[in-house]
Structure 1
Amino acid sequence: MVKLPFDDTDCGWYAALPPPMSAKRLEGHHTADHVVIGAGFAGLAAARRLAEHCPHARIVLVDAQRVGYGASGRNSGFVIDLPHKFALEHPDPQHKQRLLGLNRSAIAQLGSLIKQYGIECQWSHAGKYQGAVGPRGLAYLDHFRSLLDNLGEDYRVVEQAELKGVLGTSHYSRAIYTPGCYLMQPAALVRGLGASLPENVEVLEESPIRGLERDSSGAWLLTGDHGLLRTPSVLLSTSIFTQEFGYLRNRLLPVMTFASWTRPLTDEEMASTGIQADWGLTPADHAGTTVRMTQDRRLIIRNTYKHVPRYGHSVNSVTRESIRNDHRKAFLARYPGLQHVPFTHTWGGTYAISRNFTNFFGKVNEGVFATACDNGVGAAWGTVSGRLLADRVVGADSQQLQDIQAVTGMPSLNPPEPFLGLGVRTRIRWAAWNSRSEL
């Protein structure tokens, strides 16, 4: 029995888009040369690349939800070139350079597609601030600075007064600005990528796959509620849900993070705070608060992590209201003069991490390939890993394919329940307590 996505209906990014066209669903029996499961960043990139390699093949991209509704459309809108802190601490400089190269190739790919197809998604080369509030955050910021120095990366230290001129708040004492990050509207970008796929890619939405098994001839049968797909080649771009198909079980941790945003600020509200539009700040202390200001002047607050073994079913309305209240406290700590500005949406998104912070990429069975576990860098990693997974399937070798195979591996095994859940929940609570000054 496959546990399916169960996302809330309050994602601001998705709600801000026009209503989508009617969904085409899986109905009846079909055959395809390749089937890609999961229409997020990885699945979209994989389907596009397969179509480029095999222009006469029939490629089916199938998703349990609408394109842009799932995890890829629910992040904070960063496309990050620099790996997160854990990867930056890797002892091998070549490992880090490979990660950087892969992430930056993903950014270049996305930028090219956005330009080619005129995708309206607030794409912006805005860079990123990593901000510190107090002594704990400043210590993390100093460590981040030393990692950048060792890597030879460009950055700039921004002090409180200059920060206030951009962020419109004196809440942060210092930040490091790195120029390589891009910002975007994730649901708009994902939907635009889906709408611009090559003609030989058929997209089936609202079509959950509930079974994956081989027939007597060795072909794979994908069973839906109202139809069946038969194919020799399956690409799983299903992130945490990869384990629902029997692969990487007990190796992925399902975590949900949450965000709230405001209505667009007025001219008067922008002027009263001195805030500028179109920037993003992540916390120096990874358990702190992410803040975004969109191009259309919405402030986003993101923090709070939950272990969600039943995915969206693990979070109820009472928990969401509590999270929204916590977001409100973080918002007012930074912008007390905007207390009259309401939140209009609060949403969560589920993603996969691993205990050894290792991404999986490669073959999991005869004719079945997977990319899973982005460890929180989904937009860039999903894009490049999906594209290269398609290369791996068709046997198109390249330096980038060799690079991604060199930096990926097997996520480590998790302890059994109930010890896993107890340990993860305790660690999340402990991190939130230690980081309370940075929230």
Structure 2
Amino acid sequence: MNNRAIHLPHDDQDCGWYAALPPAVAPRRLVGRHQVDYAVIGAGFAGLAAARRLAEHHPHARIALIDAQRVGEGASGRNSGFVIDLPHKMALEHPDAAHKQRLLGLNRSAIDQLQRLIGQHRIDCQWSPAGKYQGAVGPRGLAYLEHFEGLLRDLGEPFRSVEGDELANVLGTRHYSRAVFTQGSWLMQPAALVRGLADSLPENVELLEQSPIQGLQRDSQGQWLLQGTEGQVRTPQLLLGTSIFTQEFGYLRSRLLPVMTFASWTRPLAQAEMQTLGIQSDWGLTPADHAGTTVRMTQDNRLMIRNTYKHVPRYGKSVNDNTRRDIRAGHRKALLARYPQLENVEFTHTWGGVYAISRNFTNFFGELESGVYATACDNGVGAAWGTVSGTLLADMATGADSQHLQDIRAVTGMPSRNPPEPLLGLGVRTRIRLASWNSRGEL
């Protein structure tokens, strides 16, 4: 039960994905008193999936989906636009093969679900089966790449090594020594996708945007009271798709680490510029060294650079304009290292997005207390994990069962407790700086 002030999202207003969308229709806000059967807080991938699934189970129930911002403005609309099927980073190193196969199955079920909804509702979000490159620049990256190949062999997953002219003819640069290509990931425009998912919600889901919940408590009858600035929601069942902000409601405190990553992108490149670079449209590359640089070429020919990690205990308020200018300069350096021909092409947007990680790299999924359910801590794979965990959280809340629900219970647990401040902040900042220094050749 919350008994302190809730710190709200404070995202920058420079997210390129969101700025590229047509203007949104006027939002419906939480005003007055509402009694609902289910309330879902957070309208990102997890909350949208949970609300949809609740409506499928109970088409006559009244369901409120509440977000402090507009759909697409938060973390789900700020990522790099990958929907990744493979277990991510350290999860791929898990010693239990069955654990990794469960993760793979859950991620692929999320991709199947998103593809079905995109087709059914004709969501225009640059959805593409483009796969993913994982690229290495120098010896450090190549060592990570070889390790990645070994993990894929152990998992029994196909991959292809790409280098030389073949790689350069896709990326338009010879900056990378080699890459590993895997087919199972999809690319998309994240803000467009989550807005499309919101626009196609079932009729019994009431979406309330720009409606921050600032208080949460139980009443004398055991129902939950969600207090907004102009209204209140009362419900017996509450689902939290709030990621890092779950701790603001009094749950998982001292177990989640708020980390922000940053991206910048260019205007759409002209066809002549594309030909000069010798670059293809619609691909994505993640770094073999996880502290390196992610590069995306969108379907509308924008180049996006994503790197730089910050510990943000006050979320967006931890980052000021000077920090963002320094980050953009770093992105500019990474862009020109790969594409020196673009020295006259400036970035049009630079933005950050907050996500939750845990020290033991464990996702939380389940019931926090009677009538309160949460999925939190996606550890950097929010699109697929949010979709499948939100769906299965609704199954759990309604008493449904499935093999996927059994699988997600098997692969999740309790994030480990963090040390107290100031030790936590000092440790995280030191680790981020060390990773950046060690990976400087891959940036």
**Counterparts in 2 of 1:221-240, with a 5 A limit?**
221-240=225-244
1:285 equivalent in structure 2: 289
State the SS of the aligned residue for 2:114.
Answer: helix
Q: Match for 2:392 among 388, 391, 399?
A: 388
2:194 equivalent in structure 1: 190
After superposition, the C-alpha distances for 1:34-65 in whole angstroms (9 at most, x for unaligned) are 00000000000000000000001000000000
Shift of 1:406: 0.1
- CA–CA distance in 1 between the matches of 2:432 and 2:15? 23
State the SS of the aligned residue for 1:376.
Answer: coil
Q: Match for 2:360 among 349, 352, 356?
A: 356
Q: Match for 1:407 among 406, 411, 418?
A: 411
- CA–CA distance in 2 between the matches of 1:106 and 1:247? 26
State the SS of the aligned residue for 1:432.
Answer: helix
- CA–CA distance in 2 between the matches of 1:126 and 1:408? 29
2:428 equivalent in structure 1: 424
AA of the residue aligned to 2:306: R
The range that moved more, 104-113 or 160-169, is: 160-169
After superposition, the C-alpha distances for 1:381-400 in whole angstroms (9 at most, x for unaligned) are 00000000000000101000
1:203 equivalent in structure 2: 207
State the SS of the aligned residue for 1:209.
Answer: coil
**Counterparts in 2 of 1:132-147, with a 5 A limit?**
132-147=136-151
After superposition, the C-alpha distances for 1:261-299 in whole angstroms (9 at most, x for unaligned) are 000000110000100000000000000000000000000
- CA–CA distance in 2 between the matches of 1:283 and 1:378? 18
Q: Which consecutive unaligned segments of at least 5 residues does structure 2 have? A: none
AA of the residue aligned to 1:188: A
1:96 equivalent in structure 2: 100
- CA–CA distance in 2 between the matches of 1:46 and 1:154? 32
1:368 equivalent in structure 2: 372
Shift of 1:160: 2.6
- CA–CA distance in 2 between the matches of 1:152 and 1:373? 27
- CA–CA distance in 2 between the matches of 1:267 and 1:211? 52
- CA–CA distance in 1 between the matches of 2:159 and 2:35? 51
Number of residue pairs the alignment of both structures matches: 439
1:169 equivalent in structure 2: 173
- CA–CA distance in 2 between the matches of 1:161 and 1:375? 34
State the SS of the aligned residue for 1:405.
Answer: helix
After superposition, the C-alpha distances for 1:146-204 in whole angstroms (9 at most, x for unaligned) are 00000000100001321100000000000000000000000000000000000000000
Q: Which runs of 4+ in 1 moved over 3 A?
A: none
**Counterparts in 2 of 1:249-268, with a 5 A limit?**
249-268=253-272
AA of the residue aligned to 2:58: C
- CA–CA distance in 2 between the matches of 1:398 and 1:304? 39
After superposition, the C-alpha distances for 1:214-236 in whole angstroms (9 at most, x for unaligned) are 00000000000000000000000
After superposition, the C-alpha distances for 1:351-398 in whole angstroms (9 at most, x for unaligned) are 000000000000001100000000000000000000000000001010
Q: Match for 1:244 among 241, 248, 251?
A: 248
Is 1:25 aligned to 2:26, yes or no? Answer: no
Is 1:106 aligned to 2:93, yes or no? Answer: no
1:15 equivalent in structure 2: 19
State the SS of the aligned residue for 2:214.
Answer: strand
State the SS of the aligned residue for 1:188.
Answer: helix
Q: Match for 2:383 among 354, 360, 379?
A: 379
AA of the residue aligned to 1:289: T
- CA–CA distance in 1 between the matches of 2:253 and 2:296? 34
AA of the residue aligned to 2:285: L
2:40 equivalent in structure 1: 36
CA RMSD, 1 decimal: 0.3
Q: Which consecutive unaligned segments of at least 5 residues does structure 1 have? A: none
- CA–CA distance in 1 between the matches of 2:223 and 2:88? 39
- CA–CA distance in 2 between the matches of 1:127 and 1:25? 39
State the SS of the aligned residue for 2:290.
Answer: coil
Shift of 1:342: 1.0
**Counterparts in 2 of 1:24-103, with a 5 A limit?**
24-103=28-107
- CA–CA distance in 2 between the matches of 1:391 and 1:411? 22
- CA–CA distance in 2 between the matches of 1:160 and 1:397? 49
Percent of residue pairs bearing the same amino acid type: 76
Q: Match for 1:125 among 113, 123, 129?
A: 129
AA of the residue aligned to 1:355: R
State the SS of the aligned residue for 2:368.
Answer: strand
2:280 equivalent in structure 1: 276
Shift of 1:349: 0.2
State the SS of the aligned residue for 2:255.
Answer: coil
TM-score (norm 1): 1.00
- CA–CA distance in 2 between the matches of 1:82 and 1:171? 25
- CA–CA distance in 1 between the matches of 2:382 and 2:71? 15
- CA–CA distance in 1 between the matches of 2:144 and 2:114? 31
TM-score (norm 2): 0.99
Shift of 1:260: 0.1
State the SS of the aligned residue for 1:21.
Answer: coil
